[in-house]
């Protein structure tokens, strides 16, 4: 049994993440991280900033935008993953990193993009940085309420982004989870909400039992509490 939990790196989900782990008592906790991001997150030092310098400017712009939005919500980007790791450690539950190397993926994506797609992505990143908080919050709410439609739009505007950053990673993470099923019966995996549909579809096609908790449901429950 795999429980897929949809998260957003800019939301305050720490209490909900901890609650899910303590209630479900999984055999293993999986997080959408690679070893570099894991080390940077756990250290909360300069590792992440240093690693960004070797990546295209658009990545740094997007990362800056993510940090800004997270600050609006009173958190640091990735707090929900850090909470999952800390809670698992406190409960002596093993943690598995299930994502691809983000730096290699982004560099490969950038090289594969056409000039037009690169320009569009750069403009979108700049637009996000200079948009007002109310505009961004409205867009985030729209995305939360219809993630599948948002992914369709991304696929049309940024086909390389969709293929490399979403589809290929969905497949990789689904294969990692399938492999972990050989050793663990009760798995809880925290992944970005946009990855939920793709991972779920691939796991179900392999006859693996899956339960899903979407980001919109988690945030609604949190607001109601």
pLDDT tens digit string along 131-179? 666 776 677 677 767 778 888 888 898 899 999 989 999 999 999 999 9
In the three-class reduction of DSSP (H, G, I as helix; E, B as strand; rest coil), residue 30 is classed as strand
Dump pLDDT digits (tens) for 67-102. 555 454 455 668 899 999 999 999 999 999 999 998
Instruction: Identify which has the larger pLDDT, 121 or 99.
Output: 99
Closest listed residue to residue 101, CA positions, set 36, 42, 38: 36
Per DSSP, the residues of 43-85 read: HTSSHHHHHHTTS-HHHHHHHHHHHHHHHHTTS-TTHHHHHHH
At residue 26, the pLDDT reads 98
Burial class (CB in 10 A: 0-12, 13-18, 19+), 120: middle
- The DSSP secondary-structure symbol of 166 reads I
Closest listed residue to residue 155, CA positions, set 144, 167, 171: 167
Instruction: Read off the pTM.
Output: 0.83
pLDDT at 21 over 60: yes
């Amino acid at each position: 049994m795999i429980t897929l939990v949809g998260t957003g790196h800019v939301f305050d989900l720490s209490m909900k993440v901890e609650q899910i782990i303590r209630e479900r008592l999984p055999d293993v906790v999986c997080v959408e991280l690679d070893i570099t991001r894991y080390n940077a997150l756990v250290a909360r030092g300069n590792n992440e900033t240093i690693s960004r310098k070797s990546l295209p400017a658009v990545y740094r712009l997007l990362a800056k935008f993510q940090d800004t939005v997270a600050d609006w919500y009173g958190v640091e980007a990735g707090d929900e993953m850090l909470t999952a790791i800390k809670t698992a450690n406190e409960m002596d539950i093993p943690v598995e990193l299930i994502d691809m190397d983000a730096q290699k993926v982004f560099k490969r994506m950038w090289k594969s993009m056409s000039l037009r797609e690169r320009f569009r992505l750069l403009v979108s990143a700049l637009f996000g940085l200079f948009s007002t908080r109310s505009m961004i919050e409205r867009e985030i709410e729209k995305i939360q309420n219809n993630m599948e439609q948002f992914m369709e739009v991304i696929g049309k505007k940024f086909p390389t982004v969709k293929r490399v950053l979403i589809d290929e990673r969905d497949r990789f993470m689904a294969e990692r989870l399938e492999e972990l099923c050989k050793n663990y019966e009760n798995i809880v995996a925290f992944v970005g909400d946009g990855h939920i549909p793709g991972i779920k579809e691939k796991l179900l096609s392999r006859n693996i039992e899956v339960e899903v908790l979407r980001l919109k449901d988690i945030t609604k429950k949190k607001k109601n509490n």
